[in-house]
Amino acid sequence: MNCHCGNKETYSNCCKKAHLDIANAKTAEQLMRSRYSAFALADGNYLMQSHHSSTRPTKEKKSIVKWAKSVQWIKLEIEETYKGLENDTEGTVTFNAYFYEKGKVDVIHEKSAFAKENGLWMYLGLSK
Ligand SMILES: [Zn+2]
């Protein structure tokens, strides 16, 4: 079975590595994929941990988890990446995340900004 994020790897060989130790997300794309998988698993702790401290929505954690559980995650499509490689300190990932909500397919299309914090990739928010 492929990982939640759509990689042709098992979850154990893919996003689970980052979920166990976020230092295993070596690129912004890997962090993005692990965050999608965390949404699919409604793993609120990881969603907070992988969020840059300057923008971390700690107060919304409960509602994020509740929402993540209430929808069915279909797939993630990475459209484009810019920088975000091992030796970079910032980058963007443009993606489409598909899910069913109330019987309808919906999609989040987002260009996300990522930055390293203490040497670890973190999600900052929408890219400008
Ligand atoms: Zn994965």
Residues in the chain: 128
**DSSP calls for 91-107:** EEEEEEEEEEETTEEEE
> Which CATH architecture group holds 15-126?
Roll (3.10)
Ligand 1 center to residue 126 CA distance, Å? 21
Q: What are phi and psi of 10, to 5 degrees?
A: -75, 160
Q: Where are the domains of the chain?
A: 15-126
Q: How far apart are CA 12 and CA 48, in angstroms?
A: 21
CA of residue 110 to ligand 1 center, whole Å: 18
CA of 1 to the centre of ligand 1 (A): 11
- Name, in order, each residue with C-beta under 8 angstroms of 90's C-beta and a sequence gap of 6 or more: 83, 84, 113, 114, 115, 116
Ligand 1 ion local residues (Cβ < 5 A): 3, 5, 7, 14-15, 33
pTM attached to this predicted model? 0.97
Check whether 54 has a pLDDT greater than 90: yes
Q: Cα–Cα distance between 93 and 87 in angstroms, integer? A: 16
Q: How confident is the model at residue 80 (pLDDT cuts 50, 70, 90)?
A: very high
pLDDT at site 96: 98
